[in-house]
Amino acid sequence: MSDLARAIGFVPPADWPARTRAECHDYLTAPGARFEMDTVDIRGVPTRVWKNAPANLRQVAMVGRAHGERLFAIYEDERVTYDAWFRAVAQLAGELRARGVEKGDRVALAMRNLPEWPVAFFAATTIGAICVPLNAWWTGPELAFGLANSGAKLLVCDAERWDRIAPHRAELPDLATVLVSRSDAAPDGAERLEDVLGTPHDYASLPQAELPEVEIEPEDEATIFYTSGTTGQPKGALGTHRNLCTNILSSGYNGAMAALRRGEELPAPVQKVGLTVIPLFHVTACSAGLMGYVAAGHTMVFMHKWDPVKAFQLIEREQVNLTGGVPTIAWQLLEHPERANYDLSSLEAIAYGGAPAAPELVRKIHEVFGALPGNGWGMTETMATVTGHSSEDYLNRPDSCGPPVGVADLKIVGDDGETELPVGEVGELWARGPMVVKGYWNRPEATAETFVDGWVRTGDLAKLDEEGWCYIVDRAKDMIIRGGENIYSSEIENVLYDHPAVTDAALIGLAHPTLGEEPAAVVHLAPGMSATEDELREWVAARLAKFKVPVRVVFVEDTLPRNANGKILKKDLGAFFA
């Protein structure tokens, strides 16, 4: 038992763990078992895969269809069954094909978490098109970049996103068709999605139809999720059907591991209700969440926007069993003064990734809700889950993101980019497995730099312990994680440098009790020039998404401190905010 586990008051149950992790792994992956593994060649690299994972997203959709009248999605007064969802998927898939969308074409998706989102996602991917989920928080120019860079042929979006994109339509020659949902009238240059599908209330009355025929291999391309790079424009991580389908079994493996560790038999599948508060345009919600939900027949409850009191109401009304996503959500549920006014006893698990979590949060989830905490690590380039642990294992190692799932490998590499470091030493975390994406869309140099012989270089500093548990000790250089949203310093710094008065600028993260970090800027102005804090914040807000705007800007008389190589010493900048 770790010192940190003692510090948060974790007392292991008697005779825990009932089995070693190795014993659990051997049991779960034995021949004929649900989590049996196979080895296949992926881009020239022998790779362990889940033998029983669906081959592609068509198969996932067919499994979802079989859940019939089970509720698939709940959004305000809209309640969509699995049968109704599949009718809409098949209808839209046929419409996309009729409009010339072929295998490999890009179909972009930009909207809030609405019932239309998983309809459009599966309509595109089940006909072999590549779905491009765009960050719904992006500004118009950012959305236009994603559309242009991906070469999207068709866009499905909500009215809010179309208002931002429409002024840039002339910059998007590849974009032939736009279908807009939740618009009162057909917008200029676009069509209403409701004219094709009706509203979610109408999905159940759509005709029964089959998906258009297409052959899809596991390594065929399925998605482009954009991840901001530390330099330059965002990069599109090119995911495969295997990447997404791997997560279904990886999540199940982690859950089964927790049960065996406490000496229980493997639980029978039970359909749950989950409150999905992370945007579906993140791999966390789409790959680690949506895929497993469809396979299991779980119900997804969506919110228009995050609000703790509304979440309490939904948890009570819909008897929600699962929620989470990032630590921010868990903290707000725990600390809100109105929590005691609602019956939250249905909650069984609160799991998260995407940002570091304080060990105290692990204890409080268990203590306050009686729910089991869960944590994991992944990145856009791994289509979410690589590591994971929950329940007693997480309480016992509250500073770890868990060990790798059965089909994944981790190693810690030294500064030379070659030497594998021993247990306990800190270096760059490299990950390998069938969840690692093919590379970056149309970025061969960045692909070659990041993806090496099946491994992805994560840029995270980490260490492994004797049993393989992973501990992230620092994150990718210059990245700030604000409530689960990645903010790359160089992007904001470049915008600040564009201001005529700014000659030196750097962004750092300031600790925040619930969001984890918030961005703050240190700026040096050109002699004789002036600018105020509000002016620079407004300058950034006019050019980037709101979550990227520095919460504070401080001005220094001299240029920023640098090392011998001319790099800004960011570790010294926190003193300016003391």
| Phi, psi (deg, nearest 5) at residue 433 | 155, 175
Reduce the DSSP state of residue 56 to 3 states and report it: coil
CA 146 to chain centre: 17
Structural domain that includes position 541: 487-577
Residue 290: give its domain's CATH number: 3.40.50.12780
pLDDT per residue of the chain (578 residues) written in tens, 0 to 9: 677 778 778 888 888 999 999 999 999 999 999 999 999 999 999 999 999 999 999 999 999 999 999 999 999 999 999 999 999 999 999 999 999 999 999 999 999 999 999 999 999 999 999 999 999 999 999 999 999 999 999 999 999 999 999 999 999 999 999 999 999 988 999 999 999 999 999 999 999 999 999 999 999 999 999 986 444 688 999 999 999 999 999 999 999 999 999 999 998 889 999 999 999 999 999 999 999 999 999 999 999 998 999 999 999 999 999 998 877 788 888 878 899 999 999 999 998 876 566 677 888 888 888 888 999 999 999 999 999 999 999 999 988 999 999 999 999 999 899 999 999 998 899 999 999 999 999 999 999 999 999 999 999 888 999 999 999 886 656 778 898 888 878 788 878 988 989 888 899 999 998 888 999 999 999 888 899 999 999 999 999 999 999 999 999 998 888 754 456 788 889 999 98
DSSP 393: H
By CB atoms closer than 10 A (0-12, 13-18, 19+), residue 442 is middle
Q: Which of 164, 185, 216 lies at the terminal end of a domain, its last residue? A: 216
Alpha carbon distance 365, 362 (integer Å): 6
- pLDDT at residue 565 in the model: 47
Do both 324 and 299 map to the same domain?
A: yes
If residue 372 lies in a helix (H) or strand (E), which one and from where to where?
Answer: strand 372-379
Alpha carbon distance 251, 378 (integer Å): 12
Do both 313 and 460 map to the same domain?
A: yes
Place of tokens 């258009």: 212
Taking residue 576's Cβ as centre, other Cβ atoms within 10 Å add up to: 16
Do both 184 and 65 map to the same domain?
A: yes
Residue 231 is assigned to a structural domain of this protein: no
Residue 136, CA distances (Å) to 164, 263, 539 in order: 10, 43, 21
Residue 223 is assigned to a structural domain of this protein: no
Residue 227 is assigned to a structural domain of this protein: no
Do both 358 and 497 map to the same domain?
A: no
Q: Which of 162, 181, 216 lies at the terminal end of a domain, its last residue? A: 216
Do both 564 and 468 map to the same domain?
A: no
Place of tokens 């690589």: 386
Q: Kindly give, in sequence order, each residue whose CB lies less than 8 Å from that of residue 363, ignoring residues fewer than 6 positions away.
A: 8, 9, 10, 395, 398
Do both 317 and 408 map to the same domain?
A: yes
Taking the model in full, what pTM does it have?
0.88
Do both 435 and 390 map to the same domain?
A: yes
Amino acid at 93: A
Query: Which of 295, 276, 410, 449 shows the shortest CA–CA distance to 351?
Result: 276
Do both 174 and 312 map to the same domain?
A: no
Alpha carbon distance 576, 506 (integer Å): 12
Structure tokens at 63: 């499994």
Residue 263 is assigned to a structural domain of this protein: yes
- The DSSP line for 400-439 is --BPBPTT-EEEEE-TTSSPBPPTT--EEEEEESTTS-SE
Residue 318, CA distances (Å) to 321, 322, 365 in order: 9, 11, 20
Structure tokens at 26: 């051997």
Residue 568, CA distances (Å) to 82, 498, 505, 524, 565 in order: 53, 18, 9, 13, 9
Do both 452 and 507 map to the same domain?
A: no
Asked if 360 contacts 373 with a C-beta cutoff of 8 angstroms, the reply is no
Do both 207 and 258 map to the same domain?
A: no
Structure tokens at 491: 């992007």
Q: Kindly give, in sequence order, each residue whose CB lies less than 8 Å from that of residue 159, ignoring residues fewer than 6 positions away.
A: 180, 181, 182, 183, 187
Residue 200 is assigned to a structural domain of this protein: yes
Residue 482 is assigned to a structural domain of this protein: no
Residue 87, CA distances (Å) to 98, 208, 213 in order: 17, 6, 16
Q: Which of 439, 474, 509 lies at the terminal end of a domain, its last residue? A: 474
* Count: domains in the chain: 3
Residue 481 is assigned to a structural domain of this protein: no
- pLDDT at residue 162 in the model: 98
Computed from CA positions of residues 379, 385, 390, 393, in that sequence, does the dihedral angle turn out positive or negative? negative
Alpha carbon distance 147, 215 (integer Å): 26
Do both 325 and 312 map to the same domain?
A: yes
Do both 71 and 17 map to the same domain?
A: no
CA 275 to chain centre: 15
Residue 232 is assigned to a structural domain of this protein: no
Asked if 303 contacts 311 with a C-beta cutoff of 8 angstroms, the reply is yes
- The DSSP line for 221-273 is EEEEEEE--SSSS-EEEEEEHHHHHHHHHHHHHHHHHHHHHTTPPPPPP---E
Residue 506: give its domain's CATH number: 3.30.300.30
